[in-house]
């Protein structure tokens, strides 16, 4: 994996870091507000448009004036019935007026019940045969919540600006559609007609801008699968400019539509999208919509919205731009298949914004992780999977969906290893049925297990459905030979998880040297033994913040295992033994020894009396004539004695 370097000016990074918390809160609040509309409608309209067709293609003609809160629309949609049908339901706001619906040159009958529009065909349509119809409508959009269709002003001269937010259930506020979490349109064409003084931003490629009789029409063409809530338009007196992102032999265009008063800020802020996109290309595969464009359109909100190929942003902050760009891999190319698993969108987008610090501005990476760990552990519980999808605050919990989602991914990377983690995520993004479609948590787990060769069931159970985090208590001792003895204890903050089985990194240092040991922690109080070639004076648990933990403590003790013979270390090998075993000795100084071997009854079998110089020594005991069983070897000097058992086996 290539590590990309950054030339980010220090002043921008300082601003970016100080705004981390504010930027993320703005992102969360913006997305929470948009989904609030969807959730309210989901509760009030349980019998919404039934999914009885596969939506294929739509061509939108919209006529708008940002100075007037009104829309005229013509929408042609191609669909394929999933069964024989005589009618079809569409989501369409009752606040709008449907003038007519045309089908093969004739007008169709239709009825409206609440926000469900039912279209009646002149004859039964056969299943799996593509067909089409065209809607003609107009009106003042309902613009629920914070505005699924907004007409406001910007700048010192109060210039009119219009934008949309095509969230899953808000799209019907301004065009007839089928809202679904399991059916994306294959492609769209968008024609936006406005007064000639304005420019219109939309999804995909800008094919043309034509002016006639004081009206300008922009034609946007998008040829990738797109879910309904990611369709957008924004109109005002935009100034446009491009960033160009080298991508192998290709160049990806980043088209920016910004307010005239914001050109300087936008030029400065969007320049860093180049290194951000190159990083994501390197880690996760080339930008999914590279054959068209990426873009930003400015609007009046504080956060951003990842409309496909044309992100709407309220400012040009470093982390906000990274977060919304990241959504084009995680959220747009692959969309969570259930709001229970929204962390697949938001956790990844948050983590990728952090990766921009790790790879492009590493001096701020530790701060990014620590902030989120502090947020997660500010409360003892909270699962990653959303257990109540009617609770918008729970869905868009900054602590769980965003921060915990990001740091669980960081821990997965640690458990799997860098190479396997990034390979598994790339395979997940490109998997048939998932790429440009929808995914669930188990899909991510499957591809990470395939890449790493590890069983991650326990990890996902602990960190996705389980709650809380571990706190570690480490006791350590080091003898005069440099030998480390470690005992690691764990407490859990929530009873839903009895034990977090994790590889725990521990760094030992002395000011001039350091080494990091990885403790495969499987049980509470587990002991570990290592040899260091220096005397440690400092010990830190998880210094690089791979794990979500809090209130960890370290204590140096006189010994994990009692040292009965100071200055003497020994080991019996092989153990178990068959014909013989060796006693390997390490001595700090010359010693007189008595080595005695006893059977289980305490009978003395062999004895050796030795005078040994300092250093390493080895002596053999022949035991081939003894029966299988457990024997005891005792070492005795003038300073005391110590015993160890050896097991003999036959066969």
Specify burial of residue 454 (Cβ count, 10 A radius: 0-12, 13-18, 19+): middle
- For residue 4, the model assigns a pLDDT of 33
Q: What is the mean pLDDT of residues 100-125?
A: 96
**pLDDT tens digit sequence for 483-536:** 888 889 999 999 999 999 999 999 999 989 999 999 999 888 888 888 888 999
Domains annotated for the chain, with CATH where assigned, are 1-32+238-466 (1.10.390.10), 49-237 (2.60.40.1730), 470-556 (2.60.40.1840), 568-648 (2.60.40.3880)
User: Residue 2's closest CA among 243, 317, 248?
Assistant: 248
Helix axis angle for 405-416 and 418-430, nearest 10°, is: 120
Specify burial of residue 440 (Cβ count, 10 A radius: 0-12, 13-18, 19+): middle
- For residue 80, the model assigns a pLDDT of 95
Residue pair 444/416 in contact (Cβ under 8 Å)? The answer is no
| Comparison of pLDDT for 583 and 473, the residue scoring more | 473
Q: What is the rounded CA–CA span in Å between residue 55 and residue 79? A: 5
Collapsed DSSP state (helix, strand, coil) of residue 318: helix
* Dihedral (CA of 300, 305, 306, 307) sign: negative
User: How would DSSP label each residue in 423-484?
Assistant: HHHHHHHHSTTTTTTEE-HHHHHHHHHHHH----HHHHIIIIIS---EEEEEEEEE-TT-EE
Most confident of 140-144, 506-510, 568-572, 645-649: 506-510
- For residue 49, the model assigns a pLDDT of 52
The answer to pTM > 0.95 is: no
With a pLDDT cut of 70, the percent of the chain lying above it is 90
Residue pair 455/449 in contact (Cβ under 8 Å)? The answer is yes
Residue pair 647/576 in contact (Cβ under 8 Å)? The answer is yes
Whether residue 232 is predicted with pLDDT greater than 50 in this model: the reply is: yes
CA distances (Å), 478 to each of 459, 474, 586, in order? 32, 13, 15
Residue pair 308/230 in contact (Cβ under 8 Å)? The answer is yes
Q: Identify the band that residue 167 occupies on the pLDDT scale cut at 50, 70 and 90.
A: low
Whether residue 341 is predicted with pLDDT greater than 50 in this model: the reply is: yes
CA distances (Å), 251 to each of 279, 308, 392, 602, in order? 15, 19, 39, 82
How high is the mean pLDDT of the chain? 89
**pLDDT tens digit sequence for 258-299:** 999 999 999 999 999 999 999 999 999 999 999 999 999 999
């Amino acid at each position: 994996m290539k590590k990309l370097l950054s030339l980010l000016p220090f002043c921008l990074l300082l601003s970016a870091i100080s705004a981390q918390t504010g930027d993320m809160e703005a992102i969360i609040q913006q997305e929470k507000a948009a989904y609030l509309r969807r959730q309210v409608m989901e509760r009030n309209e349980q019998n919404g448009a039934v999914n009885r067709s596969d939506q294929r293609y739509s061509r939108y003609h919209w006529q708008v004036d940002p100075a007037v809160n009104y829309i005229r629309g013509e929408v042609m949609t191609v669909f394929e019935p999933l069964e024989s049908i005589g009618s079809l339901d569409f989501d369409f706001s009752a606040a709008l007026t449907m003038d007519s619906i045309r089908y093969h040159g004739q007008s169709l009958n239709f009825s409206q019940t609440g926000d469900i529009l039912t279209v009646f065909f002149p004859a039964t349509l056969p299943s799996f045969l593509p067909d089409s119809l065209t809607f003609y409508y107009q009106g003042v959009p309902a613009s629920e919540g914070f505005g699924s269709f907004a007409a406001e002003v910007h700048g010192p001269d109060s210039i009119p600006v219009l934008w949309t937010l095509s969230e899953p259930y808000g799209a019907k506020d301004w065009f007839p559609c089928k809202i679904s979490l399991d059916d994306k349109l294959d492609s769209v064409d968008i024609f936006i007609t406005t007064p000639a003084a304005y420019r219109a931003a939309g999804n995909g490629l800008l094919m043309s801008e034509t002016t006639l009789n004081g009206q300008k029409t922009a034609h946007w063409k998008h040829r990738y699968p797109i879910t309904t809530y990611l369709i957008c338009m924004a109109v005002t007196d935009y100034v446009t400019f491009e960033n160009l992102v080298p991508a192998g032999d290709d160049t990806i265009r980043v088209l920016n539509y910004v307010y005239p008063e914001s050109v300087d800020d936008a030029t400065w802020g969007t320049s860093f999208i180049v290194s951000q996109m190159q990083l994501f290309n390197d880690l996760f595969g080339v930008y999914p919509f590279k054959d068209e464009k990426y873009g930003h359109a400015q609007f009046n909100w504080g956060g951003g919205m990842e409309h496909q190929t044309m992100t709407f942003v309220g400012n040009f902050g470093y982390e906000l731009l990274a977060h919304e760009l990241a959504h084009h891999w995680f959220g747009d190319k692959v969309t969570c298949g259930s709001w229970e698993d929204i962390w697949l969108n938001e956790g990844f987008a948050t983590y990728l914004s952090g990766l921009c610090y790790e790879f492009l501005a590493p001096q701020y990476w530790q701060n990014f992780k620590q902030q989120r760990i502090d947020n997660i552990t500010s409360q003892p519980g909270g699962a990653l999977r959303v257990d109540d999808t009617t609770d918008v605050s729970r869905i868009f919990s900054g602590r769980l969906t965003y921060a915990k989602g990001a740091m669980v991914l960081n821990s997965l990377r640690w458990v799997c290893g860098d190479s396997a983690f990034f390979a598994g995520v790339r395979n997940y993004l490109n998997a048939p049925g998932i790429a440009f479609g929808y995914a669930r948590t188990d899909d991510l787990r499957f591809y990470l297990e395939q890449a790493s060769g590890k069983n991650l069931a326990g990890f996902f159970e602990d960190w996705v459905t389980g709650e809380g985090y571990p706190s570690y208590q480490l006791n350590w001792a080091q003898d005069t030979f440099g030998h480390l003895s470690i005992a690691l204890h764990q407490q859990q903050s929530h009873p839903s998880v009895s034990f977090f089985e994790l590889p725990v990194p521990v760094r030992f240092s002395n000011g001039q040297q350091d080494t990091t040991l990885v403790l495969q922690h499987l049980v509470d109080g587990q002991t570990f033994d290592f040899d260091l070639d220096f005397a440690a004076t400092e010990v830190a648990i998880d210094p690089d913040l791979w794990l979500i933990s809090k209130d960890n403590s370290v204590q140096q003790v006189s010994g994990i295992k009692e040292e009965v013979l100071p200055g003497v270390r020994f080991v019996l090998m092989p153990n178990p033994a068959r014909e013989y075993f060796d006693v390997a000795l390490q001595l700090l100084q010359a010693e007189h020894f008595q080595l005695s071997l006893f059977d289980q009854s305490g009978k003395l079998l062999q004895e050796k009396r030795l005078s040994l110089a300092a250093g390493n020594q080895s002596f053999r005991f022949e035991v081939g004539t003894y029966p299988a069983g457990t024997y005891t070897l005792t070492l005795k000097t003038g300073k005391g004695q110590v015993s160890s058992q050896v097991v003999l086996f036959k066969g």
